[in-house]
Amino acid sequence: MLNPCNTKAFRENPLICADQFIFMKSRLPVLFCIFLGLLGCSKDNNTVNPSIAIKSYSDHVPANGIFNAVLTFSQKNGSLSGDSLVVIRHRLNQTPIPVGEEKPDTFSTYLPIMPSTDKADFSLSLDWFNLTYGINSENDTFVFRFVVIDQHGNHSDTPSTGNVVVLFQ
């Protein structure tokens, strides 16, 4: 046998040292497998984010009417009571808004207190007066996006409506 370590112990007892040398070579893959096993068994600390979906919405809002949307919320192992709903509107018209006539593009509200449930529907209504600009007597076109933020700061996905036309007259 060759003496790869060239040690006194190997010269005196080559069989024992040869076994130790083989064990030393196989120790690295064994340690790597143990590390992967521990990594795979570690507890997942990901929290469950709330989810939101649009059931229905009004795609035309008549003058002095109301925009309505019905949303479905869900959160596994969580409660929706007191979570925040944020509505973001995006105006698609080409005509710019005159300075000083801007209206907020973000609306926020709290979900109502309800019995312990992880799934619920919510009806949202926005008044025509809070939506329309009526610049040059043209209709306004918007896309609305919705986000739920739970009490732990977790955000839901952001579904959006199609084009919503708010009629001027």
Residue 27 belongs to what domain range? 8-41
Across residues 33-38, what is the average pLDDT?
Answer: 76
| 151 lies in the same domain as 71 | yes
Q: Are residues 23 and 83 in the same domain?
A: no
User: What pLDDT does 76 receive?
Assistant: 78
The pLDDT of residue 100 is 79
Do residue 16 and residue 83 come from a single domain? no
| Strand partners for 146 | 87
Q: Is residue 3 part of a domain?
A: no
Q: Do 152 and 74 fall within a single domain?
A: yes
pLDDT (tens digit, 9 = 90+) per residue, 121-153? 888 898 988 888 878 888 889 999 999 888 888
What is the percent of the chain where pLDDT is above 90? 21
Stretch 83-107: mean pLDDT: 85
Same domain, yes or no: 116 and 152: yes
- When pLDDT is averaged across residues 38-42 and rounded to a whole number, the result is 67
CB 91 within 8 A of CB 142: yes
Closest by CA position to 158, among listed 89, 92, 65, 100: 89
User: In terms of domains, do 90 and 156 share one?
Assistant: yes
Give me the CATH number covering residue 85.
2.60.40.2550
Q: 158 or 152: whose pLDDT is higher? A: 158
Using the structure block, give the residue that is written with the tokens 């700061």.
153
Is the pLDDT score of 33 beyond 70? yes
Structure tokens given for 109: 């509200």
Asked whether residue 87 falls in the same domain as residue 142, the answer is yes
Cα atoms found within 13 Å of the Cα of residue 63, Cβ hemisphere only: 6
At residue 13 the predicted structure's pLDDT band, cuts being 50, 70 and 90, is low
By the 10 Å C-beta count (0-12 exposed, 13-18 middle, 19+ buried), 65 is classed as middle
Assigned domain for 99 exists: yes
**Both tokens assigned to 16:** 């024992």
Q: Is residue 2 part of a domain?
A: no
Confirm whether 46 is domain-assigned: no
| Predicted pLDDT of residue 45 | 47
Question: Is there a single domain that holds both residue 34 and residue 111?
Answer: no
Q: What is the number of structural domains in the chain?
A: 2
The Cα 38–Cα 32 span in angstroms is 10
Residues 33 and 106 in one domain: no
Give the other-Cβ count within 10 Å of 99's Cβ.
6
Q: For residue 23, how far is the Cα from the chain centroid?
A: 49
| Residue 54, pLDDT score | 93
Same domain, 34 and 61: no
Summarize the confidence of residues 160-169 as an average pLDDT: 90
Q: What is the pLDDT of residue 75?
A: 79
Look at residue 111 and tell me if it is in a domain: yes
User: pLDDT higher for 53 or 46?
Assistant: 53
Looking at the structure, tell me whether residues 71 and 138 fall in a common domain: yes
Residue 138 maps to a domain: yes
Structure tokens given for 66: 């109301």
Query: How far is Cα of residue 86 from the mean position of the Cα atoms in its chain?
Result: 13
